[in-house]
Structure 1
Amino acid sequence: MMEIVVLGAGLGGTLMAYELVDQLRSEDRLTVIGQGDIYHFVPSNPWVAVGWRQRSDIEIDLVPVLEKKGARFMTQGAVRVHPTDKRVELTDGQSVPYDYLVIATGPDLAFDEIPGLGPSSVHEGGETQSICHVAHAQEAYTAFEAFCANPGPIVVGAVQGASCFGPAYEFAFILETELRKRKIRDRVPMTFVTSEPYIGHLGLDGVGDTKGLMESEFRARHIKWITNAKVKGIAGKVMTVDEVNEDGSPRKTHELPFGYAMMLPAFRGVPALLGIEKLTNPRGFVVIDEHQCNPTYHEIFSVGVCVAIPPISPTPVPVGVPKTGFMIESMVTATALNIGALLRGEQPKSQATWNAVCLADFGDSGVAFVAQPQIPPRNVNWASKGVWVHLAKVGFEKYFMGKVRNGKSEPFYERFLMHQLNIEKLKETRQE
């Protein structure tokens, strides 16, 4: 009998468990370790933050689902991975041994690296909001309702070292749409602050003409922007931002007063992984090879945001590489097949595609992009905008929630979405 453990029960961990079930032999046991028993659909957090969704709309109780799949589910959370002992230490003092471990923890949110960054519920002195977790999004909605009673400037963006830029753009546009619906947009100056070297970089050096598309949308919606930005700190509802030149030299310091702000933080590895030599890099992300396996600890695999990926190219301000949902699902499938091969006495050979297919919702329209592979140079490098993107994002939420609720991990919708995007590309070609 082999003990297979999945550490994490978010996007990557939940789908990992679903796909591993089909790879295990009858005598093997699967254990999933999560922090709590509820899955929540992270892409819908921006909608929760403006009241378009309730928290309960995007949550699923994983206990009955994983029980039906035959997996043991432990919800205490982990305090430390011990790779030399091949065990995971839990917060209640128990240890779970493993023959194969898949790390899918997601990231730790590094709010503490910048004074005043983050929700007040996370640490004392926090003055900005977050949409990284559904609890943060709920708090952001409460703050937004208070803001609307007394409107003022808004600042949205992502700080230095951030790697997940799409939600920042989404939230800026969703806020702008909601402010227009409430007929108070004319009382709210908006500024987008980002560590990216240009608008639409996304940590990917752009996809198609995301630079032109995003800049055009910002101009049309009267949203100003600051790129190559380092956030020094937030105090007294004022954000201090250093803007740098292409060579990294100081260009200008901005003092941005705000009535409401949402800034995405940098990510790092969770405390259970930090400082484990040869397993993680200095930032705490798991080092893997082309088969999602750690080169030193061959029984440890990793998927999702906790995986170490180097930046695409140097930038004046540190910018990370995003791990999109489509990319994570390809990591999950490759890992499940590789563990299945090992259980059958074979060598792992499956590799993730690492393609990026993303729908960025703007509330009343949106931008879709396809990057194959995600890291350039690419075979496909395309982006387009339209109302259809918003409708597709709503449809994707319904589909994906149903998939998780029913314990499935089939890629049908992803294939359908690629088909739809190919249709849109064909339309654009004919128009040209």
Structure 2
Amino acid sequence: MAHFVVLGAGLGGAIMAYELREAVRKEDTVTVVTKDAKYHFVPSNPWIAVGWRKREDITVDLAPVMKKKGVGFIPVAAERLHPDENRLQLADGQSVSYDYLVIATGPELAFDEIEGFGPEGHTQSICHIDHAEQAREAFDAFCKKPGPIVVGAAQGASCFGPAYEFAFILNTALRRAKIRDQVKMTFVTPEPYVGHLGLDGVGDTKGLLESEMRENDIKWMTSTRIKKVEAGKMTVEEVGEDGQAKPEKELPFAYAMMLPAFRGIKALIGIEGLSNPRGFTIVDKYQRNPKYQNIFAVGVCVAIPPMGPTAVPCGVPKTGFMIESMVTATAQNLGQIVRGQEPSNVGTWNAVCLADFGNGGIAFVAQPQIPPRNVNWSASGKWVHLAKIGFEKYFIRKLRKGKSEPYYEKAAMHMLGIDKLKAVKKG
């Protein structure tokens, strides 16, 4: 009998527990360790921040679902991993031993790397539901006294889609409130061009997003890093292709939402052979750590090198479809290992993304996510907005029922009905 521990219960960790329970032997045990007893559907956070959703709409209480699945559940944060001892030390003093560990923690949000940055400073965030609710309160106050808005991502960020989403969702919300004419909007990003997304673009994301910004009076600054943030003022500098910084600029704002760079959680940082300098877990093509071969990792916590050099650092996103691919490969590999076989499953790492703009949106398919690609497609329209609403409802309903299935794949196929997507599963 083997004991499997899944560290983290976000998108990757929750479905990892579901799939792992089905992939390993009946006599094996599976335990989830997570700092938050409830799962929140992160893609809906932009809607939370403008009042289009409430917390209870996007929340799944994991304890009863895990119990129903036959999975142990410990809602306590990890303090330190001791991989040489096969032991996880928790914040309340207890230790959890394991035979196999799957790291699915997601990231730590590096707000502290920029002065005055983040919810404890002067900018809002939609990375966590608590942040999104705080952003909602700030937005309600803003609507009573409109002014300039700055939205975007900081240098080193690897998650750009939600920044674009939120800029356009704000645009729609302001129009509905009939105060859009009182608000100057600026999009600030480290990407070398609009629509790069950390992926060197997908299909015509550059053209589609630039067009949307022009049509909606949103100005943009690319290859830009944030120097510091003060109350009502953001100091930024654009960087040329030669790496030389241009003179600093001050962007006034009455409301700002900026996505931060990510790093690994403190419990994993500095473990030689396990984590890279940013604390992300190093894995091979089977999602297994090369040094500690009983440790696997899935999701945002996985170390992936950037696409290539850019004037301002940009990371590579780990999209939902890509994470599901990692999860399935890992569950199947661990099922093979406990049965005395060699792992043989490799994630496809494809991307299917629905970016909602409030009354429209952009969808893209990248197969694989990192170019060169076999499928490189993007499109826009109101159908994207409707598709994301349908996907949200589908995903949360299935997760609450404890269904282990490829959520992103099934929802995408069902809601989009695009022939190009049929090839994605085959990779």
* Same structural fold, with TM-score higher than 0.5 when normalized by the shorter chain: yes
**TM score, norm. by length of structure 1:** 0.96
* Contact 1:4 1:98 (8 Å CA) reproduced: yes
- SS of the residue corresponding to residue 35 of structure 2 reads coil
Cα deviation per residue 1:336-358 (whole Å; 9 max; x = unaligned)? 00000011110101000000000
* Contact 2:321 2:408 (8 Å CA) reproduced: no
C-alpha separation in 1, matches of 2:413 and 2:309: 31
**Is 1:95 matched up with 2:95?**
yes
**Is 1:153 matched up with 2:148?**
yes
C-alpha separation in 1, matches of 2:41 and 2:188: 26
What is the match of residue 2 of structure 1? 2
Cα deviation per residue 1:266-286 (whole Å; 9 max; x = unaligned)? 000000111110000000000
- SS of the residue corresponding to residue 88 of structure 1 reads strand
What is the match of residue 297 of structure 2? 302
**Is 1:213 matched up with 2:208?**
yes
In structure 1, give the amino acid aligned to 2:62.
Answer: L
Identity %: 67
- SS of the residue corresponding to residue 402 of structure 1 reads helix
In structure 2, give the amino acid aligned to 1:113.
Answer: E
C-alpha separation in 2, matches of 1:242 and 1:424: 43
How far has the Cα of 1:420 moved from its partner?
A: 6.1
* Contact 1:163 1:267 (8 Å CA) reproduced: yes
From 122, 130, 133, the counterpart of 1:135: 130
C-alpha separation in 1, matches of 2:25 and 2:420: 44
* Contact 1:209 1:382 (8 Å CA) reproduced: yes
Closer, same or farther: CA 117–45 of 1 in aligned 2, 3 Å? same
C-alpha separation in 1, matches of 2:141 and 2:31: 43
**Is 1:163 matched up with 2:158?**
yes
C-alpha separation in 2, matches of 1:286 and 1:76: 21
Cα deviation per residue 1:150-185 (whole Å; 9 max; x = unaligned)? 000000000000000000000000000000000000
* Contact 2:387 2:416 (8 Å CA) reproduced: no
Cα deviation per residue 1:81-136 (whole Å; 9 max; x = unaligned)? 1110011100011110111000000000000000010002xxxxx00000000000
* Unaligned segments of structure 1, at least 5 residues: 121-125, 427-432
- SS of the residue corresponding to residue 396 of structure 1 reads helix
* Unaligned segments of structure 2, at least 5 residues: 422-427
**Is 1:328 matched up with 2:323?**
yes
What is the match of residue 116 of structure 1? 116
In structure 1, give the amino acid aligned to 2:144.
Answer: A
Equivalent residues in 2 for 1:236-315 (5 A)? 236-315=231-310
- SS of the residue corresponding to residue 85 of structure 2 reads coil
C-alpha separation in 2, matches of 1:172 and 1:150: 18
How far has the Cα of 1:395 moved from its partner?
A: 0.3
How far has the Cα of 1:36 moved from its partner?
A: 2.4
How far has the Cα of 1:209 moved from its partner?
A: 0.5
* Contact 2:106 2:300 (8 Å CA) reproduced: yes
What is the match of residue 425 of structure 2? none
**TM score, norm. by length of structure 2:** 0.97
CA RMSD of aligned residues (A): 1.2
C-alpha separation in 2, matches of 1:160 and 1:354: 24
What is the match of residue 107 of structure 1? 107
- SS of the residue corresponding to residue 18 of structure 1 reads helix
Cα deviation per residue 1:392-426 (whole Å; 9 max; x = unaligned)? 00000000001110111212661462476563779
C-alpha separation in 2, matches of 1:36 and 1:100: 22
C-alpha separation in 1, matches of 2:321 and 2:227: 33
* Contact 2:391 2:411 (8 Å CA) reproduced: no
C-alpha separation in 2, matches of 1:412 and 1:291: 21
* Contact 1:244 1:252 (8 Å CA) reproduced: no
Closer, same or farther: CA 315–412 of 1 in aligned 2, 3 Å? closer
What is the match of residue 186 of structure 2? 191
C-alpha separation in 1, matches of 2:411 and 2:39: 24
